[in-house]
Structure 1
Amino acid sequence: MDPVSVLLSVVVCIFLFKVFFGGEKEPQNFPPGPKPLPFIGNLHIMNMKKPYLTFME
């Protein structure tokens, strides 16, 4: 196998592991919030017609 392919595979595996298992932990002093969906986060909660109102909250 090509060394570049091996290196790229290792980097992708490490990146995916960090994204799914090594995310930032929420501080304990915040109340629980809505769970975000993968890749889109909390976009499904936003008012898409007037997003500035959601950002102001």
Structure 2
Amino acid sequence: MEHQGIEYTVVQTINPSGWKWSFERDGRSPRWGIAFNRAEAISAAQRAISQLLRVQQHE
């Protein structure tokens, strides 16, 4: 999947059950999180990407 030009992944986990999202940017350490369902994971990943891009604009 892609958001604002950054590729991210969303995968279902077994233990604990839920969905994991993750992405990497410019050699920085990966960012990731866990959500209860796929829609929440997608939303969380997109929020994290948007936040990262806002921070990078102000650097």
Q: Structure 2 length as normaliser, TM-score?
A: 0.36
Q: Point out the structure with max Rg over C-alpha.
A: 1
Which one has a larger percent strand, Structure 1 or Structure 2? 2
Higher RCO by CA contacts (8 Å cutoff, separation 6 or greater): 2
Determine which structure has the larger helix proportion and give its number.
1
Give me the TM-score of the superposition, normalised by structure 1.
Answer: 0.37
